[in-house]
Structure 1
Amino acid sequence: MKKITVIASVVLAVLSLGLAGCKKAPAKADNSLEELKGRGVFVLGLDDSFPPLGFRDADNNITGYDIDLAKEVASRLGVEFKAQPIDWSAKEMELTTGKIDCIWNGFTITDEREESLSMTKPYLNNAQVLVVRKNGGIEKLSDAAGKTIGLQKGSSAQDAVESNKDFADSLKNLVFYNDNITALNDLELGGVDAVVMDSVVAAYDISVSNKPLVIVDEVLANEAYGIGFRKTDVKLRDEVQKILEDMEKDGTVASVSNKWFGKNISVIGK
């Protein structure tokens, strides 16, 4: 009888250890906001050739719509601002390894990104469009069949093309670039027949460069821009969202938008 009792006790002990091992480890406290304020600097990761959201001016300074907004956010957080150029195709890795605090530079909100990151609410609407040479024979998406199309590697343009199977299958070839400006320059020179890219960037570049290019009216995909933070950095994400909404209410966002677009195109709080 004692032997059975001892065996039963051992079995219960083993089961208890097993159940204890199955318990989830306590979630790590979210100190993202406190840690950033403690470091005293807000590091924004961007593609520095993405006008008018984030790019280098004639004096090689990083400027743009997103930069102006982020500088004001940093000021209201009580920290310094730093714009950190990154390899856009490796942007998520730059974030997860802690090299940057957020991805903020025409970063499209997608289901996949919302699953893996802490995304803010949309702050600007956008669309993926086809940019072509004037009188180049492409007036709608179907005209791109059998043509060579350029786009930025790792961008939402690539996602838009790959998710539209009929469009992708109709193309002759895809050419990948490190940035949109290089792609547009190659388009102007005839290296590709069209470029898929963000409408916000395309419209701005065409207007300031006077390139003989036009945007096809038919849209490949509608989307919205957000700011991406690490999945665990919810408090920091929420504080940045709150500050942006305050900036919208007090007219700061409208002022920045008018500076870069000639009108307020913000969708913050809307």
Structure 2
Amino acid sequence: MKNKLLLVMVVLVMAILGACGTAEKEKSTNSQGTATEDKKVLVMGTSADYAPFEYVDTENSNEIIGFDIDLVNAIAEKIGVEIEVQDMDFNSLIPAVQAGKVDFVLAGMSPTPKRDEVVDFSIPYNETVQMVVTKKDSGIEKVEDLAGKTVGAQISSIQEDLANEVAKTVDMKVESRNLIPEVVQEIMTKRFDAAIIEDIVAENYVQRNPDLTYFPVEVDEADYKVAVLPEGSELKAQFDKAIQELIDSGKIEELQKKWFVVEE
């Protein structure tokens, strides 16, 4: 009887320890779509070369900062999740959403009909204008002056689409690069005569490079920034609600004032 009682007690202790270990494992899991202390972790894809939306201030740290980073943290607080940020090339972001490698994208991205075929968009959170950036001594002052010139843009961006559209009426060559800093560097070395870059990003580069200037490209419809989500994702309704609340509360405007004011 003593041996049987001892055996039962050992089995009970092992069962209790096993249950505790399982509970602790479940609590500490930190992979995509699982919980950490009861909070779901969402993986956000971005391309951290797009100041002031998302970038790394290498002089101070290796941390990704910017408007979109502050915005996603505000969204996360509202919907009760934690965010893990993955940096990748801009042209890899949509495929990453489709493949389930990230839960959503926040990367200063604008909706297009082509993108709309494979992903869903949140409501807009920022309106933008497209600019032609060029050197002051280039002689380029209007879109028509791009005839015979080489014009740069970021790969898979709406600026690349716009450049190709302009090229249908203006005889110019369009070349693309992976990163915005690469595009700007090509202008500085005169391999590109100009590039199409959105307004607040262009302003930051022009302010830091006194040899650069810019002017707007007239388009039929304004461009907007959105969060990009998998088709049919339940996150869309949550993101839409959170973004609208942030707009209504003035938080979006507060972040714009923080990040979009170019220092003289």
Unaligned runs of 5+ in 1: 1-34, 264-270
- Report how far residue 220 of structure 1 moved: 5.4
- Report how far residue 214 of structure 1 moved: 1.1
- Report how far residue 262 of structure 1 moved: 3.7
- Report how far residue 252 of structure 1 moved: 2.1
Instruction: Report the more deviating stretch, 61-70 or 151-160.
Output: 151-160
Instruction: Report the more deviating stretch, 198-207 or 95-104.
Output: 198-207
Partner of 1:18: none
Instruction: Report the more deviating stretch, 157-166 or 61-70.
Output: 157-166
User: Helix, strand or coil: the match of 2:205?
Assistant: helix
Partner of 1:106: 108
Q: Which runs of 4+ in 1 moved over 6 A?
A: none
**Which of 134, 137, 141 is matched with 2:136 structurally?**
134
Residue deviations 1:27-77, cap 9 Å, x none?
xxxxxxxx9474721221111100100111121210010110001111222
Partner of 2:232: 232
Partner of 1:242: 241
RMSD after superposition: 2.1
Contact 1:188 1:211 survives alignment (8 Å)? no
Write the distance in 2 (CA, Å) between the matches of 1:202 and 1:217: 10
Partner of 1:65: 67
Pairing 1:160-179 to 2, within 5 Å after superposition: 160-167=162-169, 170-171=171-172, 173-179=173-179
Letter in 2 for 1:143: D
**Does residue 42 of the first structure (1) align with residue 29 of the second (2)?**
no
**Does residue 89 of the first structure (1) align with residue 91 of the second (2)?**
yes
Contact 1:131 1:213 survives alignment (8 Å)? yes
Contact 1:132 1:214 survives alignment (8 Å)? yes
User: Helix, strand or coil: the match of 2:70?
Assistant: helix
- Report how far residue 98 of structure 1 moved: 1.1
Write the distance in 2 (CA, Å) between the matches of 1:69 and 1:37: 22
Residue deviations 1:198-244, cap 9 Å, x none?
2221112222x2342111234357411111101120x2011011111
Partner of 1:202: 202
User: Helix, strand or coil: the match of 2:129?
Assistant: strand
Pairing 1:1-40 to 2, within 5 Å after superposition: 36=33, 38=35, 40=40
Write the distance in 1 (CA, Å) between the matches of 2:187 and 2:167: 23
Write the distance in 1 (CA, Å) between the matches of 2:153 and 2:224: 18
Contact 1:118 1:232 survives alignment (8 Å)? yes
Contact 1:129 1:215 survives alignment (8 Å)? yes
**Does residue 212 of the first structure (1) align with residue 214 of the second (2)?**
no
Letter in 2 for 1:140: K
Partner of 2:27: none
Partner of 2:257: 258
Unaligned runs of 5+ in 2: 1-31
Write the distance in 2 (CA, Å) between the matches of 1:211 and 1:82: 37
Partner of 2:56: 56
Partner of 1:157: 159
Write the distance in 1 (CA, Å) between the matches of 2:230 and 2:224: 19
User: Helix, strand or coil: the match of 2:75?
Assistant: helix
Residue deviations 1:98-151, cap 9 Å, x none?
111112111111222223211112111112321010131000001000011111
